Amino acid sequence: MQDFIFYAERHGIELLKAGSCQFCGAHVEGGVFECHGNAHRLSEVLNFNNPEHYETRFLSVDAMALQHCELHGPWNNHIHLTRLFLIFNCNISWDYSKTPQLSNIINKYKKDRSEWLTPPPQQQRGKITTSDIVKVVSVDETIVKVREWAAEVFYAFKPHHALVSSIAQMYMDRYYV
């Protein structure tokens, strides 16, 4: 069973099997299940071992996670939004070594804190969704489109930019000074 299905079952979230994706609004017929299938198809277009595709991979994971932010633990949203902040606003060139570093920062940050990044309403988390991403065929176009997708999602979460900027600063102070 895929993780998001397991998580939804454990948290009493009903996953709709028909129509648009209830979370991101993707124009699909099979609901969130087809939406997740669309996202997985990115792996057929991109080579995740190619450093030139790293950023696209991380941006797609972050966009997908934040558009479906009820389907994983709450602190994951801090990680995904902070990473987008670091990529878009701090021009950090992301690679696999940096994600555990960011997790360390979030682990420190969340000690003694209990907060939840209230997301934008469902289906209002960026106009671009997986149904747009799967229409793109070439690698070059995919790289451009995924960046647009992530930028839209990032913008949709603008009310939380100030909060994640403080976490991003903790990251910069720890790893870039």
Quote the Cα angle for 114-116-118, to 5°: 155
CB atoms near residue 113 (< 10 Å) = 8
Give min distance, CB of 63 to Zn ion, in A: 10
What DSSP element (H or E) covers 72? Answer: none
Q: How far apart are CA 48 and CA 142, in angstroms?
A: 13
Give min distance, CB of 66 to Zn ion, in A: 11
Distances (CA, A) of 40 to 16, 33, 46: 19, 11, 11
Residue nearest to Zn ion (CB): 21
**8, 20, 24, 55: which one binds Zn ion (CB under 5 A):** 24
**35, 69, 86, 156: which one binds Zn ion (CB under 5 A):** 35
Give min distance, CB of 81 to Zn ion, in A: 17
Q: How far apart are CA 61 and CA 54, in angstroms?
A: 11
Q: How far apart are CA 103 and CA 44, in angstroms?
A: 28
Nearer to Zn ion, 128 or 168 (CB): 128
Write out the two tokens for 111. 């000690």
Give min distance, CB of 1 to Zn ion, in A: 18
Nearer to Zn ion, 56 or 67 (CB): 67
Nearer to Zn ion, 67 or 105 (CB): 67
Position 26 contacts Zn ion (CB under 5 A):
yes
Q: Which stretch binds Zn ion (CB under 5 A): 34-42, 88-96, 106-114, 142-150?
A: 34-42
Position 81 contacts Zn ion (CB under 5 A):
no
**Is residue 71 a contact partner of residue 4, using CB atoms and an 8 Å limit?**
yes
> Which residues of the shown chain bind Zn ion in the complex (CB under 5 A)?
21, 23-24, 26, 35
